[in-house]
């Protein structure tokens, strides 16, 4: 399961670019300064300077303690560095600000799966799908977790949805899990 979670985690990193685009305007209701610092943090993050990015995200939180993007991206840094507990804390902060913040829900689910907390991860992936039913990676990860926890048919159904939404995911799924109607298979 760990390899699968890491593979799909890369999709979460791609969200960083989307936030950079979203922050090119003035996403902060409190004015330009937190937004300016956030843009600097996003640039440092994109450039791979994680220490500088983390420091800047923390500055954003001093200026704007309700900035879910700063919490989320701090979580990404921690997750990238393998500090799963710290990542989870940051994602939880972002979710506390916006309970429907799909990227934080998704990455928290990935962290929980990697920590072996399958039931919590399943619940979180289901929350992601409530926010965005077309999130192929969430269907994929949920499907694998359901299969791994003994819910084979439900898992295979989620995997089929993932492939329907994104046919490129089919190569990540073992053939024996691609047939949804097989109730007797291994």
Q: Is residue 103 part of a domain?
A: yes
Q: Is residue 31 part of a domain?
A: yes
Higher pLDDT, 1 or 74: 74
pLDDT digits (tens, 9 = 90+) for 30-78: 345 899 999 999 999 999 999 999 999 999 999 999 999 999 999 999 9
pLDDT digits (tens, 9 = 90+) for 93-143: 999 999 999 999 999 999 999 999 999 999 999 999 999 999 999 999 999
CATH number at residue 26: 1.25.40.10
Residue 137's SS3 state is helix
- Separation CA 41–CA 52 (nearest Å): 7
Q: Can you say how many angstroms the Cα of residue 25 is from the centroid of all Cα atoms in its chain? A: 24
Q: Is residue 181 part of a domain?
A: no
Q: Is the pLDDT of residue 154 over 50?
A: yes
Domain that holds residue 12: 2-172
User: What is the residue-averaged pLDDT of the chain?
Assistant: 85
All residues at 6 or more sequence positions from 64 whose CB lies less than 8 Å from its CB, including other chains: 28, 30, 34, 70
Contact (Cβ atoms closer than 8 angstroms) between residue 73 and residue 41: yes
Count of structural domains, the chain: 1
- Separation CA 56–CA 186 (nearest Å): 50
pLDDT at 2: 39
pLDDT at 33: 87
% of residues, the chain, pLDDT over 90: 75
Residues 10-31 have a mean pLDDT of 41
All residues at 6 or more sequence positions from 126 whose CB lies less than 8 Å from its CB, including other chains: 142
Q: Is residue 185 part of a domain?
A: no
- Separation CA 120–CA 116 (nearest Å): 9
Question: Confidence class of residue 185 from pLDDT cuts 50, 70 and 90?
Answer: very low
Q: Is residue 184 part of a domain?
A: no
- Separation CA 44–CA 84 (nearest Å): 21
Q: Is residue 119 part of a domain?
A: yes
Lowest mean pLDDT among 32-36, 71-75, 146-150, 177-181: 177-181
CA atoms within 13 A on the CB side of 105: 22
Q: Is residue 23 part of a domain?
A: yes
Q: Is residue 164 part of a domain?
A: yes
Whole-model pTM: value is 0.81
């Amino acid at each position: 399961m760990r390899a699968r979670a890491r593979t799909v985690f890369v999709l979460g990193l791609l969200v960083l670019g989307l936030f950079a685009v979203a922050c090119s305007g003035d996403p902060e209701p409190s004015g330009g300064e937190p937004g300016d610092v956030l843009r600097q943090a996003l640039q440092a993050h994109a450039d791979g300077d994680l220490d500088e990015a983390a420091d800047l995200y923390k500055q954003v939180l001093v200026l704007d303690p309700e900035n879910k993007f700063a919490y989320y991206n701090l979580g990404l840094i921690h997750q990238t560095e393998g500090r799963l507990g710290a990542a989870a804390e940051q994602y939880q902060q972002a979710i506390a600000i916006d309970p429907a913040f799909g990227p934080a829900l998704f990455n928290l689910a990935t962290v929980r799966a990697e920590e072996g907390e399958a039931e919590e991860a399943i619940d979180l992936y289901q929350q992601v799908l409530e926010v965005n039913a077309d999130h192929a990676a969430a269907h994929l990860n949920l499907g694998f977790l359901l299969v791994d926890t003994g819910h084979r048919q439900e898992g295979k159904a989620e995997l089929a949805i993932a492939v329907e939404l994104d046919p490129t995911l089919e190569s990540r799924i073992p053939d024996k899990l691609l047939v949804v109607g097989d109730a007797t298979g291994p």
